[in-house]
Structure 1
Amino acid sequence: MTTPVFRFAPSPNGQLHLGHALSAILNFEAARAAGGRFLLRIEDIDRARCTPELEAGIFTDLAWLGLHWETPVRRQSDHFGDYRTALDRLTALGLVYPAYLTRAEIAGAVARAEAAGKLWPRDPDGAPLYPGDAAVLGPEALHQRIAASTGHALRLDMKKALRVAGGPLFWEETGAGPDGERGRIAADPARWGDVVLARKDTPTSYHLSVVIDDATQGVTHVMRGQDLFQATAVHRLLQQLLDLPRPVYHHHRLVLDETGRKLSKSRGDTALGALRESGASPDDIRRMIGL
């Protein structure tokens, strides 16, 4: 019988808040109830924003909550080679292409199209789908960028990837999606368009690294917030293309502020460290997140 493996995987690019506390505690308690393992993973692929000080704060906050985890802790920044190997495999299948448009050029192309009355397709998070280099730059300008080895991102050719994957994709959901979806969920990665797999300043992406990490660490149960429910479709596609195991997914409710907005590290919402310094106890945190 396979031992259940759960994980909590924060990014050290800000302080943990109440939403992180909910996810960490749910994973820890689910692992304990199942007689399984609880792992902590540091998702620090963004080397510009992630710092050792913030990582240390994560350890402090989680220990204060009464959580403990296996060591050593996996840090994504130590495993860029693993993601490169996976990227090379997808490239060998003809599924990866260089994308030269800047964010400003993408925004400009979308703005012009919408000003002309065109309804631009957007992914489940609301970001516009990639318009394609040639369509925006034209063949000559694109050729010049390629010849000049201009910095670029690497994107997944979604149409080709779906053909290679073959057949319908799905995942088992034991939690619930934003609209209450549960059970066997049909995955529709096409809604995300040609997702980024690596950037010029970051040799991997969240989508690619998370599926490699989960497979490498033997994660059997991925328990995370509902805001990542739709992204599971992309993860299932990458798992299929790379012959990786399929975990069971459980998307839990989010902790929202008084306006119904999801908490954000970038705004310092309800940081656990600040709450601790103000006199809150771990039991207070549990009450605040509805446990």
Structure 2
Amino acid sequence: MNQTYRYDNDLSAPATPATRLAPSPTGALHLGNARTFLINWALATQNNWRIILRIEDLDGPRIKQGSDLGAIDTLRWLGITWHDGPHYQAADLTPYTHAMQTLLDQRLIYPCPATRKEIEASLSAPHADDHERRYPGFHRPTTDADWQRVQQHANDRGLLNEGDWAWRLIVPDQPITIHDTFAPPARVNVQQQVGDFVIASKAGLPAYQLAVVVDDARQSITHVVRGDDLLHASARQHWLYKFLGQEDLIPSYTHLPLVVGPDGRRLAKRHGDTRIASFRDAGVPPERIVGLIAYQAGITQQRTPMTAAQFATEFSLDTLPRTPVTCTQEDTDWLLAP
């Protein structure tokens, strides 16, 4: 029987519906980020969800100084509000360490020194997606002696400590069906997709999959709205909820199609400068940014300025396109028009 990790933290919210806005300070927010946050905020406003602002600042060297304040300022400028926060993940790593100890006590995590090159060299490590290959498990403990060495490693070096190892979660070889309020159901076998996945990095920091589960649970998040590039991550998070004895806390998910460039790839620097701050510096008012997002979300039939409050009143998932939204030159030209 799984042990249960109890989330005893003063950030815990009352038993009311709640969501979170969770920017990562790895750069300035762009039009795609703004769309997701605005839709999340609109759904929360319509349904009286409590909103927590969480800064997901555990991405080590990718964190850019000042990006957190920039994201907060941009959200406010757009008219997006919240009830609690900002809360910074890196401010206290204790909750993640406690969760890892619960997993270690069940012999579900182990230190792994494998490098990306070593994984790529394995014939049993096909592409999982553009960024990740399947880890074939060649460092997974199999005997009592192996597990004794794992425990000694944890005793000597700690669970979150910078070094030449990461910590991986042992994942069963069985599929999970992810049900979503917007995206079609997805059947995902995490073991076949990525294998035993990393929950703490060699930098001594909790990985996204562990951090988001621990924080969503301890902050009583009931509704998660995010891009559908993270749809399959829900399956990994399902296993963590289960192993931490918190399946009853799995939130309701709404995964949104991404904003892409004309080449069909996720909106990024290669598509030019689509940062909200750049448009703001050029004199674009927030109503134009919101108005463009409203047009892309099917609220309006033509681009027209709109406030965030109007967006929240008029937005509906029923009119939201179910395919990726292309940000065109015509869109940016309209934003910058005098």
Report the Cα distance in structure 2 between the residues aligned to 1:99 and 1:200, rounded to whole angstroms.
9
Which SS does the other structure have where 1:196 is aligned?
A: strand
Report the Cα distance in structure 1 between the residues aligned to 2:48 and 2:211, rounded to whole angstroms.
27
The 5-angstrom pairing of residues 21-32 of structure 1 reads 21-32=34-45
Report the Cα distance in structure 2 between the residues aligned to 1:265 and 1:232, rounded to whole angstroms.
27
Aligned to 2:292: 288
Which SS does the other structure have where 1:40 is aligned?
A: strand
Distance 1:193 1:55, change over 3 A: same
Which AA in structure 1 matches 2:128?
D
Aligned to 1:277: 281
Aligned to 1:63: 76
Aligned to 1:139: none
Report the Cα distance in structure 2 between the residues aligned to 1:266 and 1:54, rounded to whole angstroms.
20
The 5-angstrom pairing of residues 53-202 of structure 1 reads 53-107=66-120, 109-110=121-122, 113=123, 120-125=125-130, 127-133=132-138, 151-159=164-172, 169-176=176-183, 181-182=184-185, 185-190=186-191, 191-202=193-204
Distance 1:80 1:174, change over 3 A: same
Report the Cα distance in structure 2 between the residues aligned to 1:199 and 1:37, rounded to whole angstroms.
31
Which SS does the other structure have where 2:67 is aligned?
A: helix
Q: CA deviation at 1:281?
A: 1.7
Report the Cα distance in structure 2 between the residues aligned to 1:79 and 1:50, rounded to whole angstroms.
17
Q: CA deviation at 1:266?
A: 9.0
TM-score, scaled to structure 1: 0.81
Aligned to 2:263: 259
Which AA in structure 2 matches 1:58?
A
1:208 aligns with 2:217: no
* Deviating more after overlay: 279-288 vs 255-264: 279-288
Q: Deviations over 1:72-100 (max 9, x none)?
A: 32211013111111111111111111111
- Check conservation: 1:189, 1:237, Cα contact below 8 A: no
Distance 1:106 1:214, change over 3 A: same
Q: Deviations over 1:251-291 (max 9, x none)?
A: 01211111111123798741110011112222221233324
Report the Cα distance in structure 2 between the residues aligned to 1:132 and 1:241, rounded to whole angstroms.
19
TM-score, scaled to structure 2: 0.70
Aligned to 1:140: none
Identity of aligned residues (%): 36
State the Cα RMSD in Å: 2.7
Which SS does the other structure have where 1:173 is aligned?
A: coil
- Check conservation: 1:122, 1:129, Cα contact below 8 A: yes
- Check conservation: 1:171, 1:248, Cα contact below 8 A: no
Aligned to 1:227: 229
In structure 2, the gaps of 5 or more residues are 1-13, 141-148, 158-162, 298-338
Count of equivalent residues: 261
In structure 1, the gaps of 5 or more residues are 114-118, 136-142
Distance 1:268 1:217, change over 3 A: farther
Spell out structure 1 runs of 4+ moving beyond 6 A.
265-268
Which AA in structure 1 matches 2:231?
F
- Check conservation: 1:12, 1:43, Cα contact below 8 A: yes
